[in-house]
Amino acid sequence: MRLVSSVTVLHTVLHTVLHFLLLCSRCTSFSPSSSIHIIPSFLSPQTCASLITSCLQKTSFSTTSENHVNFQTPDISLLEHPDIMSEFEGSIWPNVYTEIKTLYSIPSIEDSNQPSGISGFTEFGISPYSSASGLLSFLDLFVVKYDSNFKSLSMHRDGSLISFTIPLSDGHEGGGTVFECLEDNGRVEVHGEGEWGGVDGNKVKGKVGSLIVHSGKMRHGGGEVTRGERYVLVGFVDVECEAKGLFEACKEWGRWDVLDKRLKELEAKSSGRKVSKSRRWGYNRQGGMGGIDFTYDPEVVKRSLRERLKGAEKGRRETEIMFLEENNGGLTGFGNKFNSS
């Protein structure tokens, strides 16, 4: 009887502490990682249609790419088609970089304390399409096709610090991008005039040609397309300089996820739902999240929590905590090596 009572007390204490930490973390002000930026009318409908046409004429949509192992999409990698890249060189790529530098206060190279000519992404064989300053570069750039064969994309994180999407088509039903943070403390910021679409619950439905920029570490997914075909341009952007506000915010976002998961596991335990007996709470041999051991070893719990909060596990499944403090706080050189998309 005394043993049962001790377990109950320990569970109550753990639940209370985690719940308090979760509430505290979410009561902070808006951070760069919780904002979704919209640039209305970034591309004309004609440019969007031309990009789709070029893709369809020169290649086909495939799910065989090695870049998105965990979350494969039927897509066309533009970095593998320099002819398509050059066709839209003047109308898309430089302008994307300009907007991102403004949104996240990315410095000019002379203000970044970084030597010029750094291109960490080239180590992984990615085509060198970078900003004029050299501080931003595409880790990946591709057009995704949603239809009856591929209706939606599950929630995930990208392998990039910054990601963007541009809706290229209309005439379909459903779609949009689902953002988990919009259920909590996330917000949409519109920059500029013009129609851009709208928000429906936790889903952002951009108008054709609108630029949607967000932290790649923000959990998001593709809303289900119920009719027609939906084409979207997606870009993963590497940042080769120190942008502390965004890096620190992303690090905290990962910690919130861990607290969320811990809290749900504790609630599952307290409600009587079966939780795996075979694994202790924490790191297991598969590199994923273990179940809660019914023995409730306090030291295992505390050690696991500390390890997870400092980002001890990297690049496994959906990236809950990325190493955002390497390379002077940046993700230089990560490329697609730890891409979870």
Residues 179 and 320 in one domain: no
Residues 53 and 176 in one domain: yes
Residues 154 and 16 in one domain: no
Query: Average pLDDT, whole number, for the chain?
Result: 67
Higher pLDDT, 227 or 277: 227
End-of-domain residue from the set 243, 276, 301: 243
Interior CA angle at 142 toward 108 and 166, to 5°? Answer: 70
What phi and psi, each to the nearest 5 degrees, are found at residue 257? -60, -45
pLDDT at 288: 32
Higher pLDDT, 253 or 122: 253
Amino acid at 168: L
Residues 300 and 193 in one domain: no
Span 290-331, pLDDT tens digits: 333 333 344 554 455 555 444 433 433 333 333 333 333 333
Q: How many domains does the chain have?
A: 2
Q: Do the domain assignments include residue 221?
A: yes
Q: Do the domain assignments include residue 40?
A: yes
Q: Do the domain assignments include residue 336?
A: no
Q: Do the domain assignments include residue 335?
A: no
Whole-structure pTM over 0.85, yes or no?
no
Where in the sequence is the domain holding 263, given as residue range(s)? 2-29+245-329
Span 56-74, pLDDT tens digits: 988 777 655 555 445 567 8
DSSP at 225 = E
Q: Do the domain assignments include residue 334?
A: no
Residues 231 and 135 in one domain: yes
Q: What is the dihedral angle through the alpha carbons of 28, 29, 34, 35, rounded to the nearest 10 degrees?
A: 180
Domain of 53, CATH number, reads 2.60.120.620
Residues 88 and 183 in one domain: yes
Residues 198 and 214 in one domain: yes
CB 234 within 8 Å of CB 143: yes
End-of-domain residue from the set 218, 243, 268: 243
pLDDT at 51 > cutoff 90: yes
CB 88 within 8 Å of CB 123: no
Q: Do the domain assignments include residue 109?
A: yes
| Mean predicted confidence (pLDDT) in 88-100 | 84
Residues 54 and 174 in one domain: yes
Q: Do the domain assignments include residue 320?
A: yes
Residues 123 and 144 in one domain: yes
Residues 74 and 193 in one domain: yes
Residues 219 and 156 in one domain: yes
| Mean predicted confidence (pLDDT) in 196-216 | 94
- pLDDT band (50, 70, 90) for residue 172: very high
The Cα 168–Cα 321 span in angstroms is 32
Q: Do the domain assignments include residue 341?
A: no
Residues 142 and 168 in one domain: yes
pLDDT at 155: 87
End-of-domain residue from the set 243, 265, 288: 243
pLDDT at 103 > cutoff 70: yes
CB 289 within 8 Å of CB 279: no
Query: 216: closest CA among 72, 120, 328, 324?
Result: 324
